[in-house]
Amino acid sequence: MRKAVHTAVTSVIVALVVSGCGDSDDGKKDSKPSGEATQAAQKSPSESPAAKRTIIERSAGSWKSIVAAKSDDALETLTIADGKVTAKGPKLDCTGTLKGGENKPSLTLSCKGGSDGGRGEGTVGMKGDDALAINWKGAEGGFGGPVDSFRRAG
C-alpha cells in the first residue's frame, strides 16, 4: 500500500515537471498579457512622465489668477517661458526669473514703478499641471507676503 501511494505521488510530480507547469511541450510559453497596457498598469502615478518633470518645466505657459483683482497691486496674469517670467495686474507690470530647486523653485520679480505689492521673492509650488501658487516672502521682519494662486490659461 505504501509503495502504491509513493508511486502515485512520484507519477504526479513527474507529470508536472514534464509538462513544465504551464509551458507547452513545444517550448512556447503560455500567453501572458504584455506590451504597453501591462507596463502602464504596473507604473505608479509617481512614475508618469509628468511627475518626473520639474516644477520649472511644468510651469511653462500662461496663467490666470483664480481670484478677481480687488486691488491695484494684485496680479491677474503670469507667463513663464524658459525661466523668464512676466506678471501683470491692474497697476503692476513685472518681470522676473524662475530658478532653483526641483520641488520649490524661487521666483524673483521686479516691477515697473518700484511697487511690487509686497512680493519681490517667492517660492513656487504646483498641484498637478494646472494649479500654481506663489508664496511670497514679503517684507523683511514681517510675517510673510501675499499668496498668489493661478490656473492654467487656455
pLDDT tens digit sequence for 74-100: 999 999 999 999 999 998 999 999 998
Q: Which domain holds residue 64?
A: 52-152
- Asked if 115 and 92 count as a contact pair (C-beta separation under 8 A), the reply is yes
Instruction: Taking residues 43-50, report their average pLDDT.
Output: 46
Residues 82 and 7: their CA atoms lie apart, in Å, by 75
Count of the separate structural domains present in the chain: 1
Query: 69 or 107: which carries more pLDDT confidence?
Result: 107
Residues 136 and 140: their CA atoms lie apart, in Å, by 11
CATH number at residue 102: 2.40.128
Does residue 45 lie in a domain region? no
Does residue 44 lie in a domain region? no
pTM over 0.75? The answer is no
Does residue 25 lie in a domain region? no
Does residue 102 lie in a domain region? yes
Does residue 27 lie in a domain region? no
Residues 85 and 113: their CA atoms lie apart, in Å, by 17
Does residue 65 lie in a domain region? yes
Query: 55 or 49: which carries more pLDDT confidence?
Result: 55
Does residue 43 lie in a domain region? no
pLDDT, residue 49, reads 53
pLDDT, residue 50, reads 52
Conformation bin of residue 132: beta by default, left when phi > 0, alpha when psi is -120 to 50: beta
Residue 115 clears pLDDT 50, i.e. is over it: yes
- Asked if 85 and 99 count as a contact pair (C-beta separation under 8 A), the reply is no
* Cα-based angle 103, 146, 152 (whole degrees, multiple of 5): 55
